[in-house]
Structure 1
């Protein structure tokens, strides 16, 4: 802190401004003075000067004394711009995995974790939790037919942030496909068939295969019986 004691007036004010920038709650003049090792009166004077400078220059930020302390705020005149930017944070920060998972939920809802995993081919539990935290998807209930699995769907926040009136306004995915093979892939993986139908078909295939194996085994037994009977005749 010895270096701060030798700072000139303007540098001390700049240091004070830096502290206000990183503060997440209103900070009292005495608390700021303690950090900068200056007198509380000097801190209060610097805060008043900063407040006047922001106001006179019509800056995009303002310094206000609220709740027993001082804090920086955005200028009310730019509220609409700030709001639009803040509302876009969640979508801007979505990872590729989150975007994929969100797309599956949006186009395939109501959908379970297992269904999402089946479509994406990877476990999506962590991504789902993140999307729930961001308010983009929510739990719609439980699927009694499949072990009370949680069912997911999109939220009003999702519609607001993507500029949709309802999920019916979601664009047709096939229009983004570069060729027929890609369109077919989209139909099968998202919009054309449900994951449950895929599971049922897979289960039916397995049952048919098992039945064929049992039939083959039965045929071998019949051959052995016939063979034994032929030996008796000989």
Structure 2
């Protein structure tokens, strides 16, 4: 079997992003071969305009659907996250760090349950600030969505670039709400 095929199969089957060392240890390939295969796969998918891409975030690789193709998935697959939870996540991501008390004023009391779900999924972290908590996204958030960086600027740009897809998948709701706009 060709090295590139083995690496592609590993990425396809993985349920979480893989580091080069993970692929090396599980396939028996040497590091140089894995790195070359990853580079070749990324270029191949990009060259042919595939709906699939190989994203890299935090030194880990993941096979995923290109963001501009995600609007088609709702017809064929159930979302992994309910729409309300996704709206809460996008509000946190876009405005981070955000106080949970302000988030609740914007999203309503359901935000408490949404934050609990998002923390359990490892997508949001919280730190105590007085009688509330300050919420931010985690590196896992950037990895899961293929953003490439967990910086506020990179996440904000990704959300803005994909706002049309997000609104369409969400039934037309507007962009993430800003908890700081609460009166």
TM-score scaled by length of structure 1: 0.39
Higher-helix-fraction structure:
1
TM-score scaled by length of structure 2: 0.48
Structure ID, larger Rg = 1
